[in-house]
């Protein structure tokens, strides 16, 4: 009958006539029926194996006990199991040791990208170079305000940094400001400006920027003799820095130069180790219960800071 489906006169009917239209009795194609039955079987099997039927407060669990969150946790556990040997090893290594171990260095850099993106890129830019005019230090130019060794970078991340330059609006005459602006621009261009340098010295600028105006890393002061600008090399912006200073709480137009503290705990530990070494003691003998009271704030773990130190260090060919 199926072969005669296009010949109504050759096809049987159901005996029903709907308003004069005869209801034919063509069977469904075999492949279609099989597919229908198979899909029904699959539905039943699925309902038995997986959570399917909603109940009042829960649902049927299914014989396999599968859940979405369970699958997520399994996958996460697999990733963590793969990373665990590296993470455990990394936790025991110093930053210098990581730099010397090619495999661990690759792992640290690879796993730092998300960390850097989440915590650093908003200020320092995705690749270490901040957006024009953002006013954050560039990490790719190998010019480090607080030093570019791995230990110094690690300390900068852990402890945070906060520059300080007093506002000079009330301390300098306008012509003195003009002269100092010119001195700064001349210095960055390698032009000798003796009168400017004399004023730079007389007004005490050397105390922070050094007698040679090249900056003092212990203070985080900027090198005024190169073309790398902490804020901007434009004359108006240099003038603004001199007039309103940096982080001067008494001047509302001051510039902000703050690197947040990412681990007070690690900062205390690094400082304690540095003091111990300076005093000729073994840093492994430090009694941490004397140094830490458990209230130290941590925004990143010690291992995360190590990774970021390595990541940042390789940006600008760290020292």
Partner 1 sequence: MNISQSNKEAFKNPWVLGMLLFLATFLTANGIFIYLAFSSPPNLVVEDFYERGEHYIEAHELVEKQKALGWTGQIMTPANTRVNEHQQYEVLIQGKHSAALDLDSVTLHAYRPSDARADFAVEMEPSNPGMYGADVSFNLPGIWDVIIVAKKDEHEFMVTKRMTISP
Binding residues (CB under 8 A) for partner 1: these are: 15-19, 119, 122-123, 133-136, 162, 231-232, 237, 240, 246-247, 249, 251-258, 260, 262-263, 297-301, 304
Nearer to partner 1, 108 or 165 (CB): 165
CA 43 to chain centre: 46
Nearer to partner 1, 123 or 276 (CB): 123
Nearer to partner 1, 94 or 250 (CB): 250
163: nearest Cα among 253, 250, 255, 228: 255
Nearer to partner 1, 137 or 193 (CB): 137
Instruction: Tally Cβ neighbours within 10 Å of residue 166.
Output: 17
* Residue 122: CB minimum distance to partner 1, A: 4
Beta bridge partners of 13: 24
Kindly list the distances between the CA atom of residue 318 and the CA atoms of 33, 169, 230, 312, in Å, as whole numbers in the listed order. 71, 36, 18, 8
Nearer to partner 1, 40 or 317 (CB): 40
Residues 105 and 287: their CA atoms lie apart, in Å, by 30
Nearer to partner 1, 140 or 149 (CB): 140
Residues 125 and 312: their CA atoms lie apart, in Å, by 12
Cβ(199)–Cβ(180) below 8 Å: yes
Nearer to partner 1, 105 or 185 (CB): 185
* Residue 33: CB minimum distance to partner 1, A: 17
DSSP summary character for residue 162: E
Cβ(283)–Cβ(273) below 8 Å: yes
Nearer to partner 1, 137 or 318 (CB): 137
Residues 174 and 170: their CA atoms lie apart, in Å, by 10
Nearer to partner 1, 263 or 309 (CB): 263
DSSP summary character for residue 14: E
Would you list the DSSP string of 44-106?
Answer: HHHHHHS---B-SSSB---TT---HHHHHHHHHHHHHHHHHHHHHHHHHS-HHHHHH-HHHHH
Residues 206 and 183: their CA atoms lie apart, in Å, by 13
Number of alpha carbons in the 13 Å side-chain half-sphere of residue 9: 0
Angle between helices 174-188 and 194-202 (to 10 degrees): 120
């Amino acid at each position: 009958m199926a072969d005669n489906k296009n010949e109504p006169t050759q096809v049987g009917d159901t005996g029903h006539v709907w308003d004069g239209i005869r209801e034919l009795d063509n069977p469904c194609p075999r492949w279609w029926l099989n597919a229908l039955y198979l899909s029904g079987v699959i539905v039943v099997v699925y309902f038995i194996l997986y959570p399917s039927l909603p109940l009042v407060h829960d649902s049927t669990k299914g014989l396999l006990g599968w859940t979405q969150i369970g699958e997520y946790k399994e996958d996460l556990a697999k990733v963590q199991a793969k990373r665990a040997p590296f993470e455990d090893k990394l936790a025991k290594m110093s930053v210098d040791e990581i730099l010397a171990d090619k495999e661990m260095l690759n792992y640290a850099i690879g796993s730092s990208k998300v960390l850097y993106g989440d915590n650093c890129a908003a200020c320092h830019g995705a690749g270490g170079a901040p957006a024009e005019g953002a006013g954050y230090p560039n990490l790719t130019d190998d010019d480090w305000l607080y030093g570019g060794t791995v230990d110094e970078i690690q300390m900068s991340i852990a402890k945070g940094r906060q520059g300080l330059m007093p506002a000079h609006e009330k301390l300098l005459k306008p012509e003195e400001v003009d002269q100092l602006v010119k001195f700064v621009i001349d210095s960055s261009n390698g032009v000798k400006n003796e009168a400017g340098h004399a004023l730079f010295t007389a007004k005490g600028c050397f105390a922070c920027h050094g007698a040679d105006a090249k900056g003092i890393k212990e203070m985080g002061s900027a090198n005024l003799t190169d073309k790398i600008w902490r804020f901007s090399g434009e004359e108006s912006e240099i003038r603004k820095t001199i007039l309103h200073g940096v982080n001067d709480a008494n001047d509302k137009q001051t510039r902000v130069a703050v690197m947040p503290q990412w681990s007070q705990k690690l900062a205390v530990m690094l400082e304690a180790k540095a003091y111990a070494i300076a005093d000729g003691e073994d840093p492994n003998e430090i009694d941490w219960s004397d140094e830490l009271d458990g209230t130290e704030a941590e925004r990143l773990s010690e291992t995360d800071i190590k990774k970021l130190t390595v990541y940042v260090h390789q940006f600008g060919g760290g020292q």
